[in-house]
Every structure is written in structure tokens, then in C-alpha cells.
Amino acid sequence: MRLPAGAVVASPDEPRAGVLLVLQGVLSVDEDDERGPGHVIGLWERLDEVTVRAETDVRLVAVDLADWEAAQTG
């Protein structure tokens, strides 16, 4: 998915399930943690408890958590 800078990707008011893989751009997590290309969001924090915002235009891949875990364990 592609989102413009300033877009809210997930928040307690707009929750999202699964994990997000950042392909391009920078996201902020609760305004104090930035994640860029190669980072995964949603493994250590629940996307219904944090606010994730696009700091720049971003490209993301959304993956179901069970699928992500299955891919990790083979």
C-alpha cells in the first residue's frame, strides 16, 4: 500500500491487524520512535494500541500476523 506523508496508518481509533513491513519512507510510532525501510511494525507493539503515522510518503506491505510467524518458522 502507498500512503502520503501525514497519513495515520494505525491508531486506537483506526486499528489495524497484522504487521506492516516498511518498503520505503519513514513512519513514526507514538511520535517518539521512527521506523524506515526494512523495519516491521506490529511485532513488538499492538497496532490497536499505538499511533503509527507516515512521516514521509511510504510504501508498506500488510501481512497477517499468523502468516508472518509461519514464514519466520518455515
Q: What is the pLDDT along the chain (74 residues), one digit of tens a residue?
A: 999 999 999 999 988 888 999 999 999 999 889 999 999 998 888 888 999 999 999 999 998 877 888 888 87
CA pair distance 67, 53, nearest whole angstrom: 24
Q: Are 4 and 57 in contact (CB under 8 A)?
A: yes
Q: What is the pLDDT of residue 31?
A: 82
Q: What is the pLDDT of residue 43?
A: 85
Q: What is the pLDDT of residue 57?
A: 98
Q: Quote the pTM value.
A: 0.85
Q: Which domains does the chain have, with CATH numbers?
A: 2-73 (2.60.120.10)
How far from the centroid of its chain's Cα atoms is residue 35's Cα?
9
